[in-house]
Amino acid sequence: MLLIFPPVAKPCEPPAGIAKLSSALAAHGIACTALDLNLEGLLFLLQHPHTASDTWSRRAVRNVSKNIASLRDPTTYHSLDRYSRAVTDMNKVLSLAGRTLGWSVGLTDIQHEHRSPLRSADLLAAAEHPEQDPFYPYFRTRLLEAVEQQGRAMVGFSLNYLNQALCSFAMIGLLRKEFPGVKIVLGGGLVSSWMKRPGWRDPFGGLVDHLIAGPGEGPLLDLLDTGDAQARRFAPDYSGLPLSEYLSPGTILPYSASSGCFWNKCSFCPEPAEGNLYIPVPPREAAADLRRLVREMKPSLIHLLDNSISPALMAALADDPAGAPWYGFARIGKELLDIEFCRSLERSGCRMLKLGLESGDQGVLDRMEKGIDLAEASIALRNLRNAGIAAYVYLLFGSPSEAEAEARRTLEFTAGHADAISFLNLALFNMPVGAREAERYGTEPFYEGDLPLYTGFRHPRGWDRKAVRRFLDGEFRRHPAIASILRNDPPYFTSNHAAFFARP
Ligand code: SF4
pLDDT of 361 higher than 70: yes
Among 120-124, 197-201, 237-241, 460-464, the range scoring the smallest mean pLDDT is 197-201
Compute CA distances 95 → 85, 86, 200, 488, whole Å. 15, 14, 35, 24
Q: Which long-range contacts (CB under 8 A, 24 or more apart) does 261-264 make?
A: 261/307, 261/308, 262/308, 262/310, 263/308, 263/331, 263/371
Average pLDDT, the chain: 94
pLDDT above 70 covers what percent of the chain? 97
356 CB within 6 A, ligand 1:
yes
Within 13 Å and on the Cβ side, how many CA atoms surround 221? 23
Q: What pLDDT is recorded for position 50?
A: 77
pLDDT of 201 higher than 90: yes
Per-residue pLDDT band for 235 (boundaries 50, 70, 90) equals: very high
pLDDT of 21 higher than 80: yes
331 CB within 6 A, ligand 1:
yes
Between 344 and 31, residue with greater pLDDT: 344
Beta-bridge mates of residue 427? 396
Ligand 1 pocket: which of 193, 258, 262, 266 to mutate (most atoms within 8 A of CB) = 266
Under 8 Å between Cβ of 399 and 368: yes
The predicted model scores a pTM of 0.96
Which three-class secondary structure state does DSSP give residue 489?
Answer: coil
Per-residue pLDDT, averaged over 236-258, amounts to 97
Q: What pLDDT is recorded for position 231?
A: 57
Q: What pLDDT is recorded for position 344?
A: 98
pLDDT of 179 higher than 70: yes
192 CB within 6 A, ligand 1:
no
pLDDT above 90 covers what percent of the chain? 83
Compute CA distances 375 → 18, 266, 353, 402, whole Å. 41, 19, 19, 19
**DSSP conformational letter for 278:** P
120 CB within 6 A, ligand 1:
no
372 CB within 6 A, ligand 1:
no
Q: What pLDDT is recorded for position 370?
A: 96
pLDDT of 428 higher than 60: yes
Q: 424 CA distance to ligand 1 centroid (A)?
A: 18
269 CB within 6 A, ligand 1:
yes
- Torsion, Cα 495 490 504 312, to 10 degrees, reads 10
Closest Cα to atom 5, ligand 1: which residue? 264
Q: What pLDDT is recorded for position 445?
A: 62
270 CB within 6 A, ligand 1:
no
Beta-bridge mates of residue 280? 258
Q: 41 CA distance to ligand 1 centroid (A)?
A: 33
Among 238-242, 459-463, 466-470, the range scoring the smallest mean pLDDT is 459-463
**Residue 199: how many other CB atoms lie within 10 Å:** 7
pLDDT of 31 higher than 60: yes
Atom of ligand 1 nearest to the CA of 268: 7
Q: What pLDDT is recorded for position 197?
A: 86
Per-residue pLDDT, averaged over 73-99, amounts to 96
Q: What pLDDT is recorded for position 443?
A: 63
For 35-85, what is each residue's pLDDT tens digit? 999 999 999 999 987 788 899 999 999 999 999 999 999 999 999 999 999
pLDDT of 151 higher than 90: no
For 271-289, what is each residue's pLDDT tens digit? 888 888 999 999 999 999 9
Closest Cα to atom 3, ligand 1: which residue? 307
Per-residue pLDDT, averaged over 194-203, amounts to 91
Q: What pLDDT is recorded for position 434?
A: 74
What are the E-state strand segments in 313-444?
A: 326-330, 350-358, 390-397, 423-428, 431-432, 443-444
Distant-in-sequence, close-in-space partners of 239: CB < 8 Å, separation ≥ 6: 296
Per-residue pLDDT band for 465 (boundaries 50, 70, 90) equals: very high
Atom of ligand 1 nearest to the CA of 262: 4
> Edge-to-edge strand order for the sheet containing 431-432?
431-432, 454-457, 443-444
Per-residue pLDDT, averaged over 114-126, amounts to 96
Per-residue pLDDT, averaged over 409-434, amounts to 95
Beta-bridge mates of residue 33? 2
pLDDT of 450 higher than 80: yes
Between 117 and 153, residue with greater pLDDT: 117
Atom of ligand 1 nearest to the CA of 358: 7
